Amino acid sequence: MRIPASFIVALALVVLGCERRAPEPQPPATGFSERAQPGALSRSPSPPDAALYIISPADGARVSSPVTVVFGLQGAGVAPAGVDLPNTGHHHLLIDTEVPPLDSPVPADAQHVHFGLGQTETIVELSPGEHRLQLLLGDYLHVPHDPPLVSEPITVRVD
């Protein structure tokens, strides 16, 4: 399989700019396949008995910002966006929002944070108050699996 030079350059730029913090919001991946277009999707199957969950912080925890969020995944693998391997995906952290439509790529904004390099934890800045956090696994095109792999939401209180 030949990887396009533009993908390698983009990946290198992302890696060079990475720190232990939430990545800057990026638009959903496009150009890998027509499958990414709404209405033309065939969602990747999720592995049987796979589970997605937040390891830390615990539901109901009182925390201070920045908050370290550790992702858990059982029965499936993690692969970067753009890498089409069976039974894999990458994490999306949903902050103070509901699960987006499941037949399209996950939006990329401050409430839908993408971890397309295969990251399994992050540090996020959260304002004081209560916040709802949830994980959603996306395939190589940021599209949720079928059935979707979604964690139970947790609530944290930032002092």
Map out the domains of the chain as residue ranges.
5-158
Mean pLDDT score across all residues of the chain: 83
Predicted local distance difference test score (pLDDT) of residue 42? 81
Cα gap 52→69, rounded to integer Å: 13
Banded pLDDT at 82 (limits 50, 70, 90): very high
Q: What is the mean pLDDT of residues 105-129?
A: 97
Banded pLDDT at 117 (limits 50, 70, 90): very high
**Which residues are 121's β-sheet partners?**
70
Banded pLDDT at 7 (limits 50, 70, 90): very low
Predicted local distance difference test score (pLDDT) of residue 29? 40
Predicted local distance difference test score (pLDDT) of residue 34? 37
CA 87 to chain centre: 15
Q: Which residue has the higher pLDDT, 121 or 48?
A: 121
3-state class (DSSP) for residue 22: coil
- Amino acid at position 97, single letter: T
Q: What is the mean pLDDT of residues 40-63?
A: 93
Task: Look up residue 10 and give its DSSP letter.
Answer: H
If you classify domain 5-158 with CATH, what class do you get? mainly beta
Q: What is the mean pLDDT of residues 110-121?
A: 98
Q: In degrees rounded to 5, what are phi and psi of residue 38?
A: -55, 140
One DSSP character per residue, 34-103 reads GGGSTTS--PPBPPTT-EEEEEESPTT-EE-SSEEEEEEEESSEE--TT---TTEEEEEEEESSPPPPTT
Residue 66: cis peptide before it, omega within 30 degrees of 0: yes
Banded pLDDT at 84 (limits 50, 70, 90): very high
Q: What is the mean pLDDT of residues 112-134?
A: 98
Share of the chain above pLDDT 70, in %: 74
